[in-house]
Chains A and B, each alone.
Chain A
Amino acid sequence: GAVVSQHPSRVICKSGTSVKIECRSLDFQATTMFWYRQFPKQSLMLMATSNEGSKATYEQGVEKDKFLINHASLTLSTLTVTSAHPEDSSFYICSARNWPPTTREADTQYFGPGTRLTVL
């Protein structure tokens, strides 16, 4: 199956700094990537949708100036948490999708392993 990687898997930073998280599709081209956030003991919440070469679409309540998303190529999307604060500490998961899919089985999103962000 298709593989999506995230880097780093875990990051600890000081309050006020910026953190960049990378999401890569390793063996397929991802025309669309999604970013999710998961707080402890809660489900995943969609933050934004990014299409290659265009601006990301943010969900209601997500600050686009705080969570900068760049989808510069068909295999890489980055999420930058700017001026991070302790309340931004969370598990961030990306997913990638290719359209049109090459096979019926590939007609879905593939999820990365997640990045745990801790802001001190």
Chain B
Amino acid sequence: KQEVTQIPAALSVPEGENLVLNCSFTDSAIYNLQWFRQDPGKGLTSLLLIQSSQREQTSGRLNASLDKSSGRSTLYIAASQPGDSATYLCAVEDTGGFKTIFGAGTRLFVKA
């Protein structure tokens, strides 16, 4: 059974700092991995999608990497801003049936 773990559970950083969010999964047979942002009381915003054959994806200040063999992904946020404050969710889609399993999330607070 696939399990997704995110570390840390919460993170508070000063504005401008570069930071790394970690995600690990137990079953390497994934179809893809996706990072989402969720603001309080809101839905999901897709940030980056990494297919299983890819190693990383970049969008603006965000970079996500995937090491399928070790069951790990990282989300790198450069030059953090207060507007980046949100919960970041890692989710893996499996190969048989496309079930998506979410991690518990990392709550990020960027102080101005």
A in complex with B: yes
- Which residues of A are interface residues toward B (Cβ below 8 A)? 32, 34, 36, 42-46, 49, 93, 95, 97, 99, 104-105, 107-109, 111-114, 116
Instruction: A34-B98, A34-B100 are known; give 17 further A-B pairs, CB within 8 A.
Output: A42-B104, A43-B102, A43-B103, A43-B105, A44-B91, A45-B102, A46-B100, A49-B97, A49-B98, A97-B98, A99-B98, A109-B93, A109-B98, A109-B100, A111-B36, A113-B42, A116-B41
Give the distance in Å from the alpha carbon of A42 to the alpha carbon of B102 in the complex. 10
Chain B interface main SS type: strand
Give A49 Cβ to nearest chain B Cβ, in Å.
Answer: 6
Considering only residues 14-40 of chain B, those with a C-beta below 8 Å from chain A are: 32, 34, 36
Most buried by A among B42, B51, B99, B104: B99
A43-B49 in contact (CB<8A): no
| Nearest CB of chain A from residue B28's CB, rounded to whole Å | 19
CB-CB nearest in chain A for B53? A104
- CB-based contact A32/B98 at 8 Å: yes
Kindly list chain A residues whose C-beta atoms are within 8 Å of the C-beta of B83: none
Interface size of B by CB at 8 A reads 22
- Kindly name the residue among A44, A93, A99 whose own CB sees the greatest number of chain B CB atoms within 10 A: A44
A97 / chain B contacts, CB cutoff of 8 Å = 98
B102 near A107 with CB under 8 A, answer: no
B62 CB contacts on chain A under 8 angstroms: none
- Contact status B89-A44, CB under 8 Å: yes
Question: Given known contacts A43-B89, A114-B42, is B51 in contact with A107 (CB within 8 Å)?
Answer: yes
CB contacts (< 8 Å) of A44 on chain B: these are: 44, 89, 91, 102
- B59 → A minimal CB distance (Å): 13
B13 within 8 A of A: no
Residues of A near B32 (CB, < 8 A) are 107-108
Which chain B residues in 91-112 approach chain A with CB under 8 Å? 91, 93, 97-105
Chain A, Cβ-Cβ closest to B49: A108
Given contacts A104-B51, A107-B32, A108-B34, contact A43 B104 (CB under 8 A): yes
B46 and A111 contact, CB distance less than 8 A: yes
